[in-house]
Structure 1
Amino acid sequence: MRSVLIVDDERIEREGIAALLQMGNYNLEILEAVNGKEALTILKEKKPEILLSDIRMPFMDGIELTRQAKIMNPDMAVVIFSGFSDFNYAKEAIRNGVLEYILKPVDPQEFKNVMDSVMSYLDKKKQNEEAMQKNQEFLGQYFLHKFIHNGKSEIMDDAMKIMDVSWWNRTGRMLLLNGEDGFFENYDGNFEQMLTEELPFSFHYLNYDSDSSILCFEQNVKVDFQILAKHIFEFVEKSCGRQIYIAVSSQLEGKEAIPQGMKELESLMENRYYRADQWIFMPDTNWENKENYELPLEMVEKMEEDIRLHDIAHLWEHYNKFMKYKEYGAGFSYIYMNFVCTNLIKSMYTQMDYPVEKYSNVIEKMFHVENIQEVAEALEETIHLFEQKLFSVKNSNRSEVEKVKSYIYAHYQEDINLEFLSAEVYLSPGYMSYIFKKETGEGLAQFIREFRLEKAKELLCTTNKKIVQVCAETGFTNPSYFCKSFREYYGCSPDRFRKNEIQRETM
């Protein structure tokens, strides 16, 4: 509810104006003051949006009151009352930012016309503020999406010219939420608002593609993020009747860490193809609190599982961490190192269906190496061989990826997803996701979304089709989501983009 302050030293005048306001059904809280000084106190405490003031009053006249009120709130709607003899004062008041003035004695119809104009002014101002706020939000998402995607510092420089993105430097953690079957595109409601109302602290939200959204939390948010992820999972399951995967990044420091944080999240999210019973994926942030002997043991267990699942991406990740412990003197002996690496090598050869006689010489060699470095090198060589064997020849990977890309180019208007496309080329979703990201540098869902947006841009530039038609013909099922995605990707709405192109062509 808006509030209005009536200022007049005559009680009967104040009561008359209040009665006219009530008759007009403006739904306003009515405040009163007998002079300018009292009015200033009320303006500071109550912050009304409308000021109705007489010009001639003791202690402080309406001109000075208007001037000080406008300093406090430049957008305040001010209406003054003046007699014919005060007309020069009225002109001075208008120069000080008065919206309207009314001659005394007040004519009820004139008063109604003025108040209708005031309410229209405030409504329009509110709409403009909301539009500007929304535009700022879209621009923020546009720049953040670009920054996460390629990590170039120039993007932040461009963003800072038109908006405040200082929070990028304060980002402490990122969460990646991943649904399926276009969850975020087809969600019937405002997912960001739903989460905002549920969580007790603020975050920055970015819809990354139709299946993924990112939450960025600033460093001052102190919470157990594993518990938070579990809470979000349970809340979404209860509110939406859907289960989503959630990955949590390591602690981040500075804006440069945001793109790296995204890479970590995507790597963690790959686990969903191999760990079917798991919905939340965390970085191994608790290693520093473990005893030295526990560290290599945990990594070995992870590598054994990676080998069994043919999960090359995580095998390399866990191997590199295993090697770090060696470099930092993690307190495990040469004998132990030799033993675990030999077993890992055996596991990989077994998975490659090599007969024992074909790799027995490699195992025999392991018992004659002279230092830990040689053991590590033998393990690394076998991982390379394992990767090469799994993926056969790189050209084969490229061939499968090209088949998938060709299918997308021809069927982007249809409902396509990772599971469907991997089945088309007879690969598992996990393997398909890995080689597609390796070959193209981006996830499949993101690739599909960007290609659809490129086709939408073509239609906007070359046809007069309505936005709803463009949405449907480029594979988007939700016009609202399409417009939001377009603004995030191109920095403006589809309608504005088309108008800009028309203006460019006519110049």
Structure 2
Amino acid sequence: MIRATEIVHFPAPPAPYYLECGYTSYAPGEAHPNRRNMGKFDLILMKSGTLFIGEEQRKWGLTAGQSLLLLPDRYHYAVQPCEEDTTFYWVHFHSVCKWAEFPADQQIALQSEQHYHEFLTSPYDIQLPKMWDMPYPERAYQLMETLLQTPGTRQSSAFWTQQQAFEELLRMMDLRQLEQYTSPAVAVAEKTEAFIRNNYRTELTSGDMSAALHYHYNYITRCMKQVYGLTPNDYLQHYRLEQAKLLLLKTEWKIAEIANYVGFRNTPYFSNRFAGKYGCSPQQFRRQFSHTPVVRLRTKS
């Protein structure tokens, strides 16, 4: 298995979504068409033969079991015609989120505070390899066959079958699901995130995190900044405030009770941080989104 030299990052949610797919056969002498700025990702999964294809200045000779992710804003072209019978599956998909391509050894935080605010959850960074040897090619081919069969079924059922098969394919291609590809920084950041989520109601200190995770706090902070764009303390406060928002909507607890429950021991400080993040006080947020029963007055007969 070869290591990917470049990785395409997709913050999710929302995850990339499926558009269309196909199965292509080339005889000797035939070649892949030249295209520029096609506006969608093109994932090629090789089944047999050799496909000679390029993207801008890059060139590949793809063989069975290999995959290549062509980007939507680049020039794709045939390097040379096929020399033997060549077959491959292809999938077109789109992403509405900001995506980026980086060298495999470079960690980058694509997530932003805006992303956290919009989706009320910490986003997951899907990492798809540019070109690699697929670890489970036969399973990938099975998923592609499932996608190819859906056009002959009712649209109401085909939609869910397509999305499920495509998401399973993404999961298989996601380097973060494979331990040998997960960088130390990602592993530490994910452990830190899980620790914070499990202990956010307590008074967490840098010493608590270092003792629990067995890393120096400065290293933990560096990993969190690289992967999530937030320090551990920033993430802790973000998660506490998001839990407070849920309690404001789901319960009738007093503000002080909610503040204490999510880990803020000082209610005015909690209200100040809440207003700074969401632009309104906890009480205003509750009034804005809570349902107020309509009181009907009886008229005299």
Q: TM-score range by the shorter chain?
A: 0.3 to 0.5
Higher fraction of helix:
1
TM-score under structure 1 normalisation? 0.22
Question: Larger C-alpha radius of gyration, 1 or 2?
Answer: 1
The higher relative CO (CA closer than 8 Å, separation ≥ 6) is in: 2
Compare the two structures and name the one with the higher strand fraction: 2
TM-score, scaled relative to structure 2: 0.36
